[in-house]
């Protein structure tokens, strides 16, 4: 009898056991949680805030809606969502990482912003079917082990007529810039991580994980296969990031 081969997946450019990837990812975000926002501002020159603002404008959030912010981490997206849904609505800030969730909770409470919190795995969302009007996920999907499973889970908990928005690093479409982009993200970014967060390895993983993430068309097809309709995407900053959108009709 042939022994069963253990399923593996990528952790950056390294192959690891699929069952261990979540643990490796957790170690990354536990290490960088308290300096995560500072690093985001530094490594994107603040542009990540414009990307997130565009995603929220694209969502067209209305007062009274129920929104799930997956991989919401430090809560910068949830804070804006909470203002839009108002006291009649609800925002659930969800993350698989307890440390990131705690940082987000503390920061939102300091600002007087009230949202709900849930430590969840995007592959197994513990919410009732047809629960949310909008699901947002910013810079989280590439860290998920089984992305198709997560997309299926999102579809289940989204209300009919609801939409999902996924903001994620993607494939640079401005080819002349690729050597400079690779130099910055693969060489300089880990140095910044060491300087600011005292953790070069975590930021090396984050740069590598971008290369292993599905490109724009592949993710679009994955969303369609999960059941989302009217799917589209918007490239931002030449495709460095893309916002994918889909509806449950």
What is the domain range of residue 236?
A: 20-174+216-247
145 annotated to a ligand binding site:
no
Per-residue confidence (pLDDT) for residue 32, from 0 to 100 = 73
* Domain CATH number, residue 36: 3.40.50.150
Q: Is 41 annotated as a binding residue?
A: no
More confident residue, 154 or 20: 154
CA-CA distances (angstroms) from residue 39 to 33, 123, 200? Answer: 10, 27, 12
Residue-wise pLDDT for 63-93, tens only, equals: 999 999 999 988 999 999 999 999 999 999 9
Does 196 fall in a domain? no
97: in domain: yes
Is residue 2 included in any domain, yes or no? no
pLDDT score recorded for residue 6: 66
Is 33 part of any domain? yes
Domain count across the chain: 1
Orientation angle between helical segments 36-44 and 47-59, nearest 10 degrees: 100
122 is annotated as contributing to ligand binding: yes
Q: Any binding-site annotation on 69? A: no
**Contacts for 76 with CB less than 8 Å, ≥ 6 apart:** 37, 49, 52
Highest mean pLDDT among 4-8, 10-14, 143-147: 143-147
The pLDDT > 90 percentage for the chain reads: 69
118 has pLDDT over 50:
yes
56-80 as b/e: b if 16+ CB within 10 A: beebebeeebbbbbbbbbbbbbbbb
Lowest mean pLDDT among 44-53, 99-108, 195-204, 222-231: 195-204
If you average pLDDT over every residue of the chain, what do you get?
91
Q: Is residue 194 part of a domain?
A: no
Of 27-41, 56-70, 145-159, 161-175, where does mean pLDDT reach its minimum?
27-41
pLDDT at 2: 43
Q: What pLDDT, in 10s, does the model give residues 188-230?
A: 988 888 887 778 888 888 888 989 999 999 999 999 999 999 9
Provide the whole-model pTM: 0.90
Distance of alpha carbon 71 from alpha carbon 81, whole angstroms: 14
Read off the pLDDT of residues 169-180 as tens digits, 9 standing for 90 and up: 999 999 899 999
Instruction: Indicate if the pLDDT at residue 4 is higher than 50.
Output: no
């Amino acid at each position: 009898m042939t022994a069963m081969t253990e399923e593996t997946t990528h952790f950056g450019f390294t192959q690891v056991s699929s069952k261990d990837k979540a643990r490796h990812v957790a170690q990354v975000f536990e290490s960088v949680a308290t300096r995560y926002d500072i690093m985001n501002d530094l490594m994107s020159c603040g542009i990540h805030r414009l990307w997130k603002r565009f995603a929220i404008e694209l969502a067209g959030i209305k007062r009274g809606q129920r929104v799930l912010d997956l991989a919401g981490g430090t809560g910068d997206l949830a804070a804006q969502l909470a203002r839009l849904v108002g006291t009649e609505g609800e925002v659930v800030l969800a993350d698989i990482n307890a440390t990131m969730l705690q940082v987000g909770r503390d920061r939102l409470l300091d600002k007087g912003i009230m949202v709900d919190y849930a430590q969840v795995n995007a592959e197994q969302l513990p919410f009732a079917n047809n629960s949310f009007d909008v699901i947002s996920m910013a810079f989280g999907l590439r860290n998920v082990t089984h992305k198709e499973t997560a997309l299926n889970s999102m579809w289940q908990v989204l209300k009919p007529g609801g939409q999902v928005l996924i903001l994620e690093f993607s494939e640079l479409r401005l080819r002349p810039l690729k050597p400079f982009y690779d130099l910055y993200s693969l060489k300089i970014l880990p140095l910044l991580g060491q300087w600011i967060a005292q953790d070069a390895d975590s930021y090396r993983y984050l740069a590598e994980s971008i290369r292993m993430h599905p490109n724009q068309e592949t993710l679009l097809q994955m969303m369609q296969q999960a059941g989302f309709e009217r799917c589209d995407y918007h490239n931002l900053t030449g495709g460095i990031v893309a916002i994918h959108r889909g509806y449950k009709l």
